Amino acid sequence: MFDYKLLSALAAVVEQAGFERAALVLGLSQSAVSQRIKLLEARVGQPVLVRATPPQPTDLGRRLLNHVQQVRLLERDLQGQVPALDEGGQPERLRVAINADSLATWWAPAVADFCAGHRVLLDHVVEDQDVGLKRMRAGEVAACVCAAERPVAGARSVALGAMRYRAVASPAFIARHFPSGVTPAALAHSPAIVFGPDDFLQHRYLESLGVAGGFAYHLCPSSEGFVHLTSGGFGWGLVPELQVAGELARGELVELLPERPVDVPLYWHHWRNGGELLGELTRQLVRAAEELLVR
C-alpha cells in the first residue's frame, strides 16, 4: 500500500499553503515535513510540489492529493460504523470542478445545508462547462458539474437539469446598435461578450440564427464581470436567466430575441467509490436542482 504518512504531508503542505503551517497542523518539525515530501518524490520518481510561495502541486501531486481525499471519504464512512477509529475529525475537503455560471448562481443555495451539516470544506475548481470533465479524467477532482453526459471510467453521471441562458444587452447598447430592430445580421456586426476561449455559446447562438463567420467580442472570464459589461453597454451576451432576473425586471438589461433562449444541460459526475458522503451530496443536489434548474 501507499505510505499515507508521506501523502498526508503533501496534503497538509498544499492545504495549509506552506511547510510551516503544515508542520504546525501535523505536529512535526518543518524539516520533518520537508523530508517526507522528498521521500515521496523519491518513491514516485517525480516532483510532487513546485516550490513556489505558496507551494503548488504538480500534475502528479494533484492526482495524489485527490486520491488522499478519496481515501479520507472512505475512512469517514468506516468511522461512522466503528466510532473508536475516529481521531477527532478534521473536516473533509472535497474537490469539485464546476462551471463559473453555476458557482455564480444556483450552486451555493443547493449545497449550503449539506456542507454545514456534514462539516465539509469545498475546493472549487472553475472550469468551463465543456471542459470540466478533463479534470475528472485526470483524477484531479472528486466530482464535477459540466455539460457532458458521458461519465469517465470509475464515475457516475446524474442529470441535474439545464441552465437557461438569454441573449441580453443594455437599452443604450440596443438603441446604438439595433436602431431598426434586432436582426441576426445586426447582431453579427455589433460587439459581443465572450467568457473565455472555451466559451462558444455566443458563436453557436449566431450560427443557430444562420450567421457564419467571425465577430468582434470582448473577453471577460468572470461571471459577475460579464453581467457588468453587458449592463454597462460593452456588448451583447448570453447570461444565465437566474443571474439577471433583477436586471431584467428593472429594465437595466433587455432580452434581444425573447423567443430564443439557450438551455445548457448540466450533469453531476462523481466517483463511483466516493463513499456515503458523496452519495448524500448527490441526493441533495438532485433535489435542489429540481427547483433551481430548468427541466
Task: Tell me which residues touch a second copy (CB under 8 A).
Answer: 15-17, 21-22, 24-25, 54, 56, 90-91, 100, 103-105, 107-109, 112, 115-116, 121-126, 176, 191, 197-198, 200, 203, 212-214, 216-225, 228-229, 231-234, 243
Is the CB of 250 or the CB of 272 nearer to a second copy? 250
Pick the closest to residue 236 from 184, 295, 287 (CA basis). 184
Shortest Å, Cβ 84 to a second copy: 24
**Rounded Cα distance, 166 and 205, in Å:** 10
Helix residue ranges, H only, 125-243 = 132-137, 171-177, 184-188, 201-208, 223-231
Given a contact cutoff of 8 angstroms between Cβ atoms, the answer to whether 63 and 134 are in contact is no
Nearer to a second copy, 42 or 245 (CB): 245
Cβ proximity to a second copy, 78 vs 121, nearer residue: 121
Query: CB-wise, 8 or 105, nearer to a second copy?
Result: 105
Question: Cβ of residue 257: shortest distance to a second copy, in angstroms?
Answer: 22
Spatial contact of 76 and 92, defined as CB atoms under 8 Å apart: yes
Helix (H) or strand (E) holding 240: strand 237-240
Are 214 and 206 a contacting pair, CB within 8 Å? no
* 3-class secondary-structure state, position 75: helix
Question: From the CA atom positions of the chain, what is the Rg in Å?
Answer: 23
Nearer to a second copy, 91 or 258 (CB): 91
Quote the least distance from Cβ 242 to a second copy, whole Å. 11
Residue 141: CB minimum distance to a second copy, A: 12
Q: Which is nearer to a second copy, 156 or 292 (CB)?
A: 292
Least Å distance between CB 90 and a second copy?
Answer: 8
Residue 283 and residue 113: Cα distance in Å, rounded? 12
At closest approach, how far in Å is the CB of 192 from a second copy?
A: 10
